[in-house]
Amino acid sequence: MSLKRNSLEYAAKIDAEDFSFDLTLAPTQAVLLNGDAGVSRKGPATAAASYYYSLPHLRVGGSVKREGRADQVNGEAWFDHEWSSEYLDAEAVGWDWIGLNLDDGAALMAFRIRGAQGGQHWAGGTFRAGDGTVQILQPSDIEFQPGRRWTSPRTGIAYPVQWRVRAGGRQFELEPLLDDQENDARLSTGTIYWEGAVRALEGGRAVGRGYLELTGYGERLRLR
């Protein structure tokens, strides 16, 4: 896979065994800095943090090829760039994370770090309204409530694939577009996790789409 950027857009290309795609991703909004001017805390200790920014509502166009057929596609995407020298502290086992492109132009990034007992060890997020107003969300502003679980037939890991998420004064229900979105990355990062497309609802009404990432459910997450 290759991802290249010029001053205005990204180009993403991949050639896999069963499919390939060639996409162009163009920003439609300003960079969204997460945390304190781009420094996102991941635990009570100040060293547990990352540099982190997002590009919500990327405009996407290009082609996808599969089974000898090429289709032109278009839509929206979310791009994250996050890096750090220390990420999870000793009390953490994994995280639950969402990035949502909302239909009114708003964007939400929210996460919780889970402790050994499964509860919320730390949390945070960023909400940018459609008018550009940004709210940095503190741990007390975030609540993740798991719902229905799906069990992988390959690994036997049970993931909560439906959620209710409170972020500030908003509450969203998340539903997966399909249950089986498990990723086996043991040959690269050394992890098995669930990450995939979800539909966001508010008060039973569809309000956007995004991504949900679930780590540390089979065993404690250990990053290489």
Within a domain: residue 188?
A: yes
Burial environment of residue 64 by CB neighbours within 10 A (0 to 12, 13 to 18, 19 or more): middle
Check pLDDT > 60 for residue 224: no
> Residues of the chain with pLDDT > 90: what percent?
79
Q: Which residue has the higher pLDDT, 52 or 223?
A: 52
pLDDT band (50, 70, 90) for residue 67: confident
pLDDT of residue 124: 97
Domain containing residue 106: CATH number: 2.40.370.10
pTM of the model: 0.92
Residue with the larger pLDDT of the pair 158 and 219: 158
Q: What is the rounded end-to-end Cα distance, in angstroms, of the chain? A: 20
Residue 77 clears pLDDT 60, i.e. is over it? yes
Nearest alpha carbon to residue 192 among 174, 213, 206:
213
Residue 224 lies in a domain: no
What is the phi/psi pair of residue 166, to 5°?
-100, 125
Q: What is the mean pLDDT of residues 59-68?
A: 94
54 has pLDDT over 90:
yes
- Is the pLDDT at 223 greater than 70, yes or no? no
Name, in order, each residue with C-beta under 8 angstroms of 208's C-beta and a sequence gap of 6 or more. 100, 101, 102, 103, 106, 199, 200
Q: Is the pLDDT of residue 211 over 70?
A: yes
Phi, psi (deg, nearest 5) at residue 89: -85, 175
Q: Which residues contact 85 (CB under 8 A, 6 or more apart)?
A: none
Pairing label, strands 170-176, 182-185: unpaired
Is residue 35 one of the residues assigned to a domain?
yes
Question: Is 140 among the domain residues?
Answer: yes
Assigned domain for 220 exists: no
Beta strands in 103-187 (DSSP E): 107-115, 120-128, 134-137, 142-146, 149-151, 158-160, 163-167, 170-176, 182-185
Give the model confidence (pLDDT) of 114-139 as tens digits: 998 889 999 999 999 999 999 999 99
Report the C-alpha gap between 85 and 49 in whole angstroms: 8
Q: Give per-residue burial for 156-187: e unless 16+ CB within 10 Å, then b.
A: ebebbbbbebebeebebbbebeebebbeeeee
Lowest model confidence (mean pLDDT) among 4-18, 73-87, 99-113, 125-139: 4-18
Counted domains in the chain = 1
Q: Give the pLDDT mean for 96-115.
A: 97
Residue predicted with more confidence, 16 or 103: 103
Rounded average pLDDT over 204-219 = 95
Average pLDDT over residues 12-33: 94
Judged against a pLDDT cut of 80, whether residue 215 lies above it is answered with yes
Which residues does residue 114 pair with via DSSP β-bridges, in sequence order? 94, 120
Whether residue 92 lies inside any domain: the answer is yes
The answer to the question of residue 223 being in a domain is: no
- Mapped onto helix, strand or coil, the DSSP state of residue 101 is strand
Q: How far apart are CA 11 and CA 212, in angstroms?
A: 23
Domain with 208 in it: 2-214
Residue 71 lies in a domain: yes
Mean pLDDT of the chain: 92
- Mean pLDDT is highest, among 3-12, 83-92, 162-171, for 162-171
Helices (H), the chain: none
* Per-residue model confidence (pLDDT) at position 118: 85
